[in-house]
Chains A and B, each alone.
Chain A
Amino acid sequence: MTDASSRPRAVYYFATCLVDLFYPEAGLSGIRLLQREGLRVVFPRGQSCCGQPAYNSGYAGEAREVARAQLRRFPGEEPVVVPSGSCAGMIRRHYPGLFAGDPDEGVARAFAGRVVELTEFLVGVLGVRLADRGSPVRVTWHPSCHALRECGVDREPTELLAQLANVTVTPLARDKECCGFGGTFAVRHPAISGAMADDKAAAVEESGAGILLSGDAGCLMNVGGRLAARGSRVATRHLAEFLWERTRER
C-alpha cells in the first residue's frame, strides 16, 4: 500500500466489470470523490475484470489471461484505487499466487502491492473530511465478506458515514454474515444462495433503514434483487455514489 505520509498526485482507477456494466454512476462517483481531493485520476479504457469469477471456479489459466490484460493497462507505480473490496482482495491476495512462476510474476506482485480499496484510500491515505449536504436519512451498512476478510477493510466505511451529519446508520443484524452472492455460487446453488439473500433482505428491512449501502456491487445486486423480489421499499446504493450525492456542491 501507498505510504500514507506521501500523498500521491495521481492515481489509477480500476472500476471492475460489475461497476462498468451495472453501476456506472457508482464508478464515476468514486472518481469524483478522488478528483475533489485534488488528484488526477486516470481511468484506462479497455480494462475489464480482475479475473475472480474464473479463478474461484477453478479456471486459473483463463483467469490469468484476463488478469494479465489488466496488468498491461496500469503501467507505472501509481496506486490503483478500486471501488470494490472483493476485486481489490482478489488482486492483492491472489495475483501473486496466480502468477507464480509466470514471466509476469514480478509485475503482478508489484500491481498487487499498488491496489487500494476506495474507502481505505479515502480514509487511510487522503484523510478526507466530508460535509453532508443531504436531508436526514436512515441507512444501514453491509460490509462485504471480501472487503472485511481479504482486504481488512472494516472501520473505514463506517468512519466515512460517521462524518455525514444527517445520516443515521442503523445496526444490521448478523451484519458480517455473507449475503449469499459468492459470484457463480449464486447460480450454482440458487436455493442456498437465495435463502442467504432472503435472510439478509429480511434483516435489512428489520433495521428500519431506507437505504442499504455496500461497497461491493455483487452484494448490492444480490441483496437488492432479493429486496425487490420481496416487494421491499428499501433502496440499495453503492457507498461511493451515496457519499458523492450527499457531499457534492450543487
Chain B
Amino acid sequence: MSAEPRPPDFRRASAAALADGQLRANFRRAMDGLTSKRAAQFADPVEWRDLRALGAAIRARTLVRLPEHLARLEARCRENGIAVRWAETTGEANAIVLEILRRHGATRVVKGKSMVSEEMHLNDFLERNGIESLESDLGEYIIQLDGETPSHIIMPAIHKNRGQIAKLFGRRIRDAEYTEDVDALTAIARRVLRRKFFEADAGISGVNFAVAETGTLCLVENEGNGRMSTHVPPVHIALMGIEKVVPRLEDVPPLYSLLTRSATAQPITTYFNMIGGPRGPGEKDGPREVHLVILDNGRSRMHADPALQATLRCIRCGACMNHCPVYARVGGHAYEAVYPGPIGKLVTPQTEGVDRRADLLEASSLCGACGEVCPVGIPIPELIVRLRTEAAAPGGTSAVLGRGGARHRLESLAWRVWSAVLSRPRLYRAAALAATRLGRLVPAGLPPLSAWTRFRSAPRPARRSMQELADEEGIPDA
C-alpha cells in the first residue's frame, strides 16, 4: 500500500468535487429523486418499522453463526454441482478466477454488476492477463468506456448526466450516432452488448443472496444483463463476500423487498435470478460449469468485533449514500474507495486501516440520516464514532486495523485540557468568565476559528454567561 504514489485524501478530493458545479448538480438532482421515491415506498411507518426489524434480525442472527451457514452453503452448492472456492484476499480471488478462465482458454468475458469484483479490481487484472472483460450493466458499461470507477454502488454512472453520456458514446462507440435520447442511448449499448454475450467464453457476476439451505445464488437486476451474463456463456463464475449468505430461502423475500425499495424505490426488480447449478442432463440452456468464489478481504476482522460486526449486515442498497448530505455534495469518487458514502466510512477504514483512512471517518456531521434509512438497522453513526475512538486510541489492542494510528499529540492534549476544565465546576466558571469577557478579542483569522469564518461570521460569546445572569436573578442553584 505504501508504494502508492499518493495516499487517498478526502479533504483534497472533496474540495475538487465541491468546485465542480456540474457534478454537484448531477448528484443533487439524482439524490433528490431517489430520496423522495424511496419515501413513497415506505409511506407506512409501521410497515417500514416491522420490515426493517425483520431484515435487521435476519442479518444479525445470520452473522452470529456465520461460519456454520457458510459451511452449509458450500455443502449444498457442491451437491448442486457448483464448485466453491475460498479466497482470503482479493489477490487470491483474482488468481482463482484467472485459473478457471485459463483452464477453459477463455479470452473474452462478460460481467454482470459486482461490487466484490470492484474490490478485486478484476477488470484491470484480467486485462493485464490478456483477457477482455466487458461490463454489461449499463451504468458499469458507461464508466468502463470512460475508464472510471463506480461513483455509487447501485448506480455506478450516476455522476454523469445524459449529455455527458451522449458525448462519451459518440466518442467511444464506433458507428454510434449522436443522440441525447435515453432510449436511443440504451439501444446503442444494447446493440454492442447483445453480440458480446454470445461471443463470451465466460460470464462473471456478483451475488445478492446465497441461500445456505438450498445452495441457491440469487441475483437482483433490472436489465436482464445479469441473466445473460450468467446463462449464455458456457462458464459462470459468481463472486460474493462471506457476508452474503442467508440461512433459509424464506429469509430472501423480506431482504429482497427492503433492498429494491431502498435502492431504487422499486417494489420489485424486473429480474430476480435464482441460480441452482449448471446445466443439467437434458436441459437445453445454461452454463456447463458454475463456480462460486467466496471472498473475505477483511470481513473476518469486522466479524470478530461484536459491535463492528453490524457492518456486515449491509445488503448494498446504497440508501445511506442517497441520504447523506456529504455524499450528495461531493459524489462518490471523492472517497477514493470502492464503497463511498456512509457505509464506505465503515468498510474502507476497517479494510485499509483506521489510521490510513481517518480522513473518511472525520468527514461526517453525524446527522444520522444514514442510520435512519438503513434497511437492516446498521447503526452507522455510532460505528463511525466507534472507529474514530479506535483511530484516536492511546494504546491497547483490538481487532481494528490501524488502531491508535491517527492519534495526534496536539489534539489529544487539547481534549485533555478541555476535559480538565469542563469537569471542574469552578474552573469552568472561571473559563466562562474569561470567554465572555475576552472571547470577542480572539482573532477570527487564526485556526480553528479561521476554518469557521471562511464561510460564516465569527461566533462571539455573550457578554455575560447564563450562569452569571441566573445568579443575579436568584434562580435556585439547588
Residues of A that sit less than 8 Å from B by CB:
15, 17, 19-25, 27-28, 31, 40-49, 51, 53-63, 65-66, 68-69, 73, 145-146, 148-150, 176-178, 180-183, 185-198, 221-222, 224-226, 228-229
Q: Is the CB of A197 within 8 A of B436?
A: no
Instruction: Tell me if B's interface is mostly helix, strand, loop or mixed.
Output: helix
5 contacts between A and B (CB under 8 A): A24-B462, A42-B476, A43-B475, A59-B389, A149-B367
Q: How far is the CB of A223 from chain B (nearest CB, A)?
A: 9
Q: Is the CB of A58 within 8 A of B392?
A: yes
B11: chain A residues within 8 A (beta carbon): 189, 191
Q: Is the CB of A182 within 8 A of B365?
A: yes
Q: Is the CB of B363 within 8 A of A192?
A: yes
Q: Is B429 engaged at the interface, CB distance under 8 Å to the other chain?
A: yes
A146: chain B residues within 8 A (beta carbon): 368
Bound together, the chains give a CA A194 to CA B411 distance in angstroms of 22
Nearest A residue to B426 via CB reads A46
Which of B325, B389, B392, B448 gathers the greatest number of chain A CB atoms within 10 Å?
B325
A188: chain B residues within 8 A (beta carbon): 362-363, 451
Q: Is the CB of A41 within 8 A of B476?
A: yes
Known A-B contacts A21-B461, A44-B478, A182-B367; the reply to A196 vs B329 at CB < 8 A is yes
A228: chain B residues within 8 A (beta carbon): 456-457
Which B residues from 432 to 478 make CB contacts under 8 A with A?
A: 432, 435-436, 439, 447-448, 451-452, 454-462, 464-471, 473, 475-478
Q: Is the CB of B372 within 8 A of A190?
A: no
Nearest B residue to A86 via CB reads B366
Instruction: Tell me if A's interface is mostly helix, strand, loop or mixed.
Output: helix
Q: How many residues of B contact A (CB 8 A)?
A: 69
Give 12 A-B pairs besides A22-B462, A48-B428 with Cβ atoms closer than 8 angstroms.
A21-B462, A22-B459, A31-B475, A43-B475, A51-B422, A56-B385, A58-B385, A145-B367, A188-B362, A190-B451, A191-B454, A225-B452
Q: Is the CB of A41 within 8 A of B452?
A: no
Binds A, one of B107-115, B195-203, B265-273, B412-420: B412-420
Option from B362, B452, B470 in Cβ contact (under 8 Å) with A45: B470
Q: How far is the CB of B424 from chain A (nearest CB, A)?
A: 7
Q: Is B52 engaged at the interface, CB distance under 8 Å to the other chain?
A: no
Known A-B contacts A45-B477, A197-B456; the reply to A192 vs B467 at CB < 8 A is no
Option from A27, A31, A54, A224 in Cβ contact (under 8 Å) with B418: A54
Bound together, the chains give a CA A189 to CA B454 distance in angstroms of 11
Q: Is the CB of B423 within 8 A of A195?
A: no
B458: chain A residues within 8 A (beta carbon): 225
Known A-B contacts A42-B478, A195-B18, A225-B456; the reply to A20 vs B364 at CB < 8 A is no
Q: Is B369 engaged at the interface, CB distance under 8 Å to the other chain?
A: yes
Bound together, the chains give a CA A17 to CA B451 distance in angstroms of 21
B326: chain A residues within 8 A (beta carbon): 189, 192, 196
Q: How far is the CB of B322 from chain A (nearest CB, A)?
A: 12
Which B residues from 383 to 419 make CB contacts under 8 A with A?
A: 385, 388-393, 411-412, 415-416, 418-419
Bound together, the chains give a CA A53 to CA B456 distance in angstroms of 20
A42: chain B residues within 8 A (beta carbon): 476-478
Which of B454, B455, B457 gathers the greatest number of chain A CB atoms within 10 Å?
B455
B471: chain A residues within 8 A (beta carbon): 45
B368: chain A residues within 8 A (beta carbon): 145-146, 148-150
Bound together, the chains give a CA A242 to CA B64 distance in angstroms of 51
B454: chain A residues within 8 A (beta carbon): 190-191, 194
Nearest B residue to A27 via CB reads B466
Option from B18, B415, B466 in Cβ contact (under 8 Å) with A24: B466
Q: Is B165 engaged at the interface, CB distance under 8 Å to the other chain?
A: no
Known A-B contacts A24-B469, A62-B419, A193-B365; the reply to A45 vs B429 at CB < 8 A is yes
Give per-residue flags for B143-168: 1 if the beta carbon is below 8 A from chain A beta carbons, else 0: 00000000000000000000000000
Q: Is the CB of A191 within 8 A of B456?
A: no
Nearest A residue to B467 via CB reads A45
Q: How far is the CB of B185 from chain A (nearest CB, A)?
A: 30
Give per-residue flags for B336-349: 1 if the beta carbon is below 8 A from chain A beta carbons, else 0: 00000000000000
Q: Is the CB of A149 within 8 A of B423?
A: no
Q: Is B330 engaged at the interface, CB distance under 8 Å to the other chain?
A: yes
Which of B412, B415, B469 gathers the greatest number of chain A CB atoms within 10 Å?
B415
Q: Is the CB of B18 within 8 A of A47?
A: no
Q: Is the CB of B436 within 8 A of A190?
A: no
Q: Is the CB of B466 within 8 A of A44?
A: no
Q: How far is the CB of A53 from chain B (nearest CB, A)?
A: 8
Which of A19, A20, A65, A198 gathers the greatest number of chain B CB atoms within 10 Å?
A20
Q: Is the CB of B369 within 8 A of A40?
A: no
B460: chain A residues within 8 A (beta carbon): 22
Q: Is B15 engaged at the interface, CB distance under 8 Å to the other chain?
A: yes
